[in-house]
Structure formats: structure tokens, C-alpha cells
Homo-oligomer: A and B are copies of this chain.
């Protein structure tokens, strides 16, 4: 092999590594999506078994988290990426950290579902939390899609979804507290519903984080503490 063949080979190998990283993140994302879906279904269908599967499978999410991080460290050490290649690796490190925590929140929802499956379904707050769950699930799907295509416009849409989810969460909180005051016996059940809503709201925040990393990768700018309005103005669709 002469020098230029070697360089070509090296760069092919490098690209393959980066591609592997992206694929692994999407694999982890798919697993986390499944976990969230099962957790919400467990809540909807009062199926404790589904919830128990989520709790039992969380270790798989954690294992992917560790192995992707290891791969990132290896790629940095061996390939010494710079510019957008380095941004990709950093984006992967941050994205998997959020995916792992979305997995934890799904586990929390599953635990509530396991507990509440044994009690009578309460007031119509259940419908609202199921609706919130569906919205959050779609949001996660959308942010993984944005990651797969490194699509800034879609990432911005995810941030808009998050605003809606925050409003819905606030409203569920208020309604839950009103119900508690009306019927104190329902407090334990309502607290579980409120915690589930809270877990979903946190998942929304984490999807939003992933969007910010996508913008960082594509545009080279860290927008984590920038307002949505500013982000749209600078990077949004014309």
C-alpha cells in the first residue's frame, strides 16, 4: 500500500467508525422508544406485566449507554477527530446520556403503572396522562428521526412540541391538586399520576436536549441555553 492508499484506507475506516456510532445511537434510541411505549401502554391498559418488562429491561439501555461511551472514547483516542467529526462524537456522548435518562423516566412511569394497576382507575386525569404519554412518545420518535437525518428544522419542531408538553403538564398538575383537595382519599393514587406526568415532562426536556445537540453538530453552535425564539431566528427555515 502506498501513502495515499493508506490515507484513503484510514479515512474509510474513520467514516465507518462514525457511521457505527450513529447506528448504535439509533439502536439505543429504538430500545428506549420501546421501553417508553411499553411503560405508557402498561399505564393505559392497567397491565402490571408490561410495566415489569420495562423495569427488567432497563439494564439493556444501560449496557448500550456504557458500550457507546466506550466506543466514543476509542474513536477519539485512535482517530483524533477534529471539526465536525469531533462534534459528532461529542453529540453522540451527550445524546446517549439523555437517552439513558429517558430510559430511567420510562422505568419510573412503569413503576407507577405497576402500583396503580392494582387500584381502580381514578378520575378522567387518566385520559389526560395517557394523552400526554402519546405526545411524549411522538416527541421522542421525532427527535430520533431528527438525529438520524441530522435535520435542524425537525429539531426545532421538537423544541416547539416541548412547549406544548410543558403547558399540558402544568394543567394536569393543577387538576390533580384540585382533585386531591376534593377527595383526600385519592391522594396516593393522584400522586402517582402526578409523578408519571412529571416523568413525561422530563422526557420532553430530554428530547429537547437532543435537538440542541443536533443543532450543535450541524451548525457548530452550542444553543443549550439559548431561547427557542433566538434559535429559530438564527437557524430556522426561511
Contact = CB atoms under 8 A, between A and B. Distances in A.
Interface of A: 59, 62-63, 65-66, 69-70, 73, 76-77, 80-83, 86-87, 90, 93-94, 97, 177, 180-181, 184-185, 187-188, 191, 222, 224-225
Nearest to A180: B187
Nearest to A62: B225
Given A69-B222, A184-B181, A82 B77 contact: yes
A196 to B, nearest CB: 14
Give the copy number.
2
Contacts of A80: 80
Contact of A188 (B82, B177, B191): B177
B66 A76 contact: no
A73 B86 CA distance: 8
A73 B80 CA distance: 11
11 contacts: A63-B225, A65-B224, A69-B90, A70-B222, A77-B81, A77-B86, A93-B93, A97-B97, A177-B188, A180-B180, A180-B184
Contacts of A66: 222, 224-225
A177 B185 CA distance: 10
